[in-house]
Amino acid sequence: MPKDSPIAVHIGGNKKVCYIPQFSVGTPYGSYIGLLNCSLSEAKSARYDILNRLAYYINNMWVCITAPNSIAIYKGDKDYVYLSPCVINDAKQQWKIRDGVFYSLDESYSLKDDGNYVYVLKQGNRTSKK
């Protein structure tokens, strides 16, 4: 049985925060991933599964961190990730871990944060706030 736990990252030196799945009708995809204190109840446990997905079980449904088409298909530079129902073999939902960073399987983009939200950044792009 996989061990589920919140996804924790370090920002601003040693400050530890967790990915927080959020839903909002005011966002382009109806959801986003924010960053908050890991001790808050909103720091839901996630699962890195056998299909390379980062998944949350929310409201009786598995939803996965998904890269937007603007990056995954159209090869834009930067855009915010969102949650969508987990499906099999969707490259936009598949991630690998290298050197403590989540990358797309082809390593063309990676998960980053701006201190408040999680986004994907095309490799070679330096628009990251860090």
In a domain, 39, yes or no: yes
Domain count, the chain: 1
In a domain, 127, yes or no: no
Give the CATH number of the domain where residue 106 resides: 2.80.10.50
**Which residues span the domain enclosing 31?**
8-122
* In contact, 49 and 57? CB cutoff 8 Å: no
In a domain, 14, yes or no: yes
Question: pLDDT tens, position by position, for the chain (130 residues)?
Answer: 568 999 999 887 788 999 999 998 888 888 999 999 999 888 999 999 999 999 999 999 999 999 999 998 887 899 999 999 999 999 999 999 999 899 999 999 999 999 999 999 998 765 444 4
Beta strands 54-58 and 118-122, pairing class: unpaired
In a domain, 3, yes or no: no
Here the tokens at position 56 are 């949350």
Q: What 8-state DSSP symbol labels residue 91?
A: G
Look at residue 128 in the predicted model and tell me its pLDDT. Answer: 44
In a domain, 27, yes or no: yes
In a domain, 78, yes or no: yes
pTM, to two decimals: 0.89
In a domain, 81, yes or no: yes
- 3-state secondary structure (DSSP) of residue 69: helix
